[in-house]
Amino acid sequence: MTPGDDLRTAPPPRPRDDDHIRGDPAGTPIVFYADFTCPRCALAHDRLVEAGARVVFRHFALRAKHPRAIAVALAAEAAARQGLFWPFADALYRDQGHLDDPHLWQRAEALGLDIARFDEDRRADEPARRVREDTRAALAAGATTTPTMFAAESVHPGVPDPEWLAGLGYHGGVRIPKQ
């Protein structure tokens, strides 16, 4: 990225206490702005999992780009309210061809979620606020595509390549400490 390409109006994002985070706590955190309906995000998700990366998930759900993006993000937040964000997210990325409401309820049921609570939570104000604020923060940080990742003062639009991940200390599911 050249200086003229920097569209940020905010500093690069840092992990927050309320983020969805998984991976080695000693690893370099990768703030992953993504959309559950985006095939490139699914591939990026798979690469991050394979690399064993410390992932900080944030929503970058734009209805204009994917009509179901916000509804699916709200479902993931409803699952998070029952402590199952990551299993639900993994299930969404594994099968993006089935993202309509009946399929979301099937996933929730398969994970053992309370379906009535799940349905209530996905319509609640707090999940909607979170999805909206994450998306606004992505734009302010300079994200222009899904997925976009921020780590160690760098931005990586698109699917992460092995070289970028290796530069952060991740290689094939093993974190390599920086010298």
CA angle 85, 90, 91 (to 5 degrees): 100
150, part of any domain: yes
158, part of any domain: yes
Is pLDDT of 1 > 80?
no
Average pLDDT of the residues in 146-153: 93
Is pLDDT of 176 > 80?
no
91-95 contacts: CB < 8 A, separation 24 or more? 92/36, 93/36, 93/41, 93/42, 93/45, 93/46, 94/42
Q: How confident is the model at residue 175 (pLDDT cuts 50, 70, 90)?
A: low
Q: Enter the pTM of the model.
A: 0.89
First-to-last alpha carbon distance for the chain, in angstroms, is 26
161, part of any domain: yes
104, part of any domain: yes
10, part of any domain: no
In terms of residue numbers, what domain contains 94?
28-170
Tokens of 62: 């734009």
What's the pLDDT tens digit per position in 95-143?
999 999 999 999 999 999 999 999 999 999 999 999 999 999 999 998 9
Tokens of 145: 């595509």
Average pLDDT of the residues in 136-154: 92
What's the pLDDT tens digit per position in 18-76?
999 999 899 999 999 999 999 999 999 999 999 999 999 999 999 888 899 999 999 99
Q: How confident is the model at residue 179 (pLDDT cuts 50, 70, 90)?
A: very low
Looking up residue 161, the CATH number of its domain turns out to be 3.40.30.10
6, part of any domain: no
84, part of any domain: yes
132, part of any domain: yes
What whole-number distance in Å separates Cα of residue 35 and Cα of residue 158? 12
Q: How many domains does the chain have?
A: 1
The strand pairing partners of 22, in sequence order, are 55
3-state secondary structure 138-173: HHHCCCCCCCEEEECCEEEECCCCHHHHHHCCEECC
